[in-house]
Amino acid sequence: MEENSQNWVDRLWRAFSSMKMGLALLGIVALVAGIGTLIPQTEQDPQKAQAVGQLWQTLGFTHLYSTVWFRLLLGLLCVNLIVCSIQRFGSIYRQTFKLTPPSNLAKVPKKNSRVVNGDIGTLQKSAQEFLTRKGYRVVLDEQSDQWSFIAAKRRLGYWGSFITHLSFVVLVLGALLGSILGFKGYMMEGAGTTTPIQQIELSKGKVSETFSVRINSAEDRFLSNGERDNWYTDMSILENGQEVARKTLSVNHPFEYKGVTFYQASFSNGAHFTVAMNGQKIPVVLREQGQNYFQAPGTDLYLIATSIMPSSSSQKAVALYQVYKGTGADPVQSGQLTLGQTVDVQSTYKLTLDSYAGFTGLQVKKDPGVAVIWLGCALLVGGLLLAFYWQPIVLSGILKSENNKQGTLTVGAFSGKSTSTTLEALEQFVSSVTK
């Protein structure tokens, strides 16, 4: 039983350490992600996503990046990269920190090698002086009949590909972390309103936070020349009814609280009204262009604000309104209100314009994987720089004695991707020793 279990472990290890599997998984992820860029995603365009064929919706291609099977693909790719990295770690560590001089000529690189004859003492001294002067880390092995060495510099270059592979693992973990623990949503609220964070309109994820958001004011400011300055929202964070944070945000100036970031996304004019009906006064807040409506209780009358103009130095705030009955396409009443003005609506209730109220549109996002993704990007850049611009240079050789004074020095260079640099270092070594 234990032997069978061990065989399965070995098979899985060999499978996930395979470069072919890694390339296959990478190709599948790239193909699926490519399809995802062509198919509208629910979180970006819900209407177009609903128009996609039912088969694609069932397979999850309209919400691709949050599907279990896509996360499983990323997880398998992550496991493959981790196994490959673990398998290579030992050899990279030995190449960097456990340099071993060659014990015989067969272990001196043959492809790029040179032979120098001369006085034993002079050759040995010249070789050591050159390697020390050029900044090589040198490991020596002295025996009665031979002297050998291995010298290396830019040893951190060995870690370039390892760090690059590791960066992809970190990037995948960051993406999964943000997808599983984060959320993205939207809220459009008027000045003076308080909204629990859990009631915002979500496009993905789930909100675990319990604080509330109060919109103190929302303004669409203009410069003296008539050009728009920016949209500004003065908002507070409330916990247990107490204000714990407050800030004025605007476009490109978000507000972050406990990992949740609020971005200024849109703005709409609105107004506070009072409806007097059956001896009661009902507060109503409407947005212009009919973005919301008020239905009088017990009736089929629907009130909307078609246009709202805030007060300025030359005029008071003005609201244009329309009243619809049932499913009728044409309004049964329309008109204009200024601040404090009251009108009768279909002999059913009295409508008064109390004050102007700006509505702010905020994108709300939490992504705990952002810091991890930035770390992955930094590792990727560092790994690529090491891999392509910090190639290790390794020289090794054996000096054998022919008699008490004369000897033969055989030296070779390990040639990696940067062959020209390695050959140049070998030639410099031979030239220095020969002199």
State the DSSP string of 18-81: -HHHHHHHHHHHHHHHHHHHHSPPTTT-HHHHHTS-HHHHHHTGGGGGG-HHHHHHHHHHHHHH
* Alpha-carbon distance values, 407 to 60, 118, 145, 280 (Å): 73, 6, 10, 112
Rg, Å, the chain Cα set: 36
Domains, the chain, ranges and CATH? 2-90+163-179 (no CATH), 99-154+391-434 (3.30.160.110), 181-268+361-376 (2.60.98), 270-357 (2.60.200)
Separation between Cα atoms, residue 127 and residue 432, nearest integer Å: 8
Q: What is the DSSP letter of 253?
A: B
Question: What is the phi/psi pair of residue 335, to 5°?
Answer: 180, -170
What is the three-class DSSP state of 233? Answer: strand
The tens place of each residue's pLDDT in the chain, 435 residues long, gives 555 556 777 777 777 777 788 788 888 888 888 888 888 877 767 777 777 778 877 877 787 777 888 888 888 888 888 888 888 888 889 888 888 999 888 888 888 889 989 888 889 899 999 999 999 999 998 887 789 999 999 888 889 989 998 998 898 888 888 878 888 899 998 888 899 999 998 878 889 899 999 999 998 888 888 788 899 999 999 999 899 999 999 999 999 999 999 999 999 888 889 999 998 999 998 988 888 899 999 999 999 999 988 876 556 778 999 999 998 899 999 999 998 999 999 999 999 999 888 899 999 999 998 889 999 999 999 999 988 888 888 999 999 887 778 888 999 888 666 577 888 888 888 888 887
Helices (H) and strands (E) in the chain, counts: 9, 20
Separation between Cα atoms, residue 106 and residue 27, nearest integer Å: 41
Separation between Cα atoms, residue 303 and residue 288, nearest integer Å: 11
Sign of CA dihedral 81, 183, 220, 254: negative
| Residue among 205, 183, 170 at smallest CA distance from 373 | 170
pLDDT at 6: 61
* Alpha-carbon distance values, 320 to 158, 189, 190, 305, 338 (Å): 72, 20, 18, 6, 9
Task: At 339, list the tokens.
Answer: 């601040």
What is the three-class DSSP state of 238? Answer: strand
Task: At 310, list the tokens.
Answer: 């805030």
pLDDT at 220: 87
pLDDT at 215: 93
Name 295's Cβ contacts closer than 8 Å, sequence gap at least 6.
Answer: 301, 302, 303
pLDDT at 405: 81
* Type and span of the H or E element at 379: helix 370-389
Separation between Cα atoms, residue 407 and residue 390, nearest integer Å: 34
Task: At 419, list the tokens.
Answer: 């062959």
Residue 139, strand partner residues:
150
pLDDT at 17: 76
Separation between Cα atoms, residue 22 and residue 80, nearest integer Å: 6
What is the three-class DSSP state of 388? Answer: helix
Separation between Cα atoms, residue 21 and residue 254, nearest integer Å: 43
Name 59's Cβ contacts closer than 8 Å, sequence gap at least 6.
Answer: none
Separation between Cα atoms, residue 423 and residue 155, nearest integer Å: 17
Strands 113-119 and 212-222, by their bridges, are unpaired
HSE (CB half, 13 Å, CA atoms) of 175?
A: 18
* Alpha-carbon distance values, 67 to 63, 180, 366 (Å): 7, 10, 19
pLDDT at 415: 65
What is the three-class DSSP state of 136? Answer: coil
Separation between Cα atoms, residue 343 and residue 341, nearest integer Å: 7
| Residue among 131, 310, 135 at smallest CA distance from 217 | 310
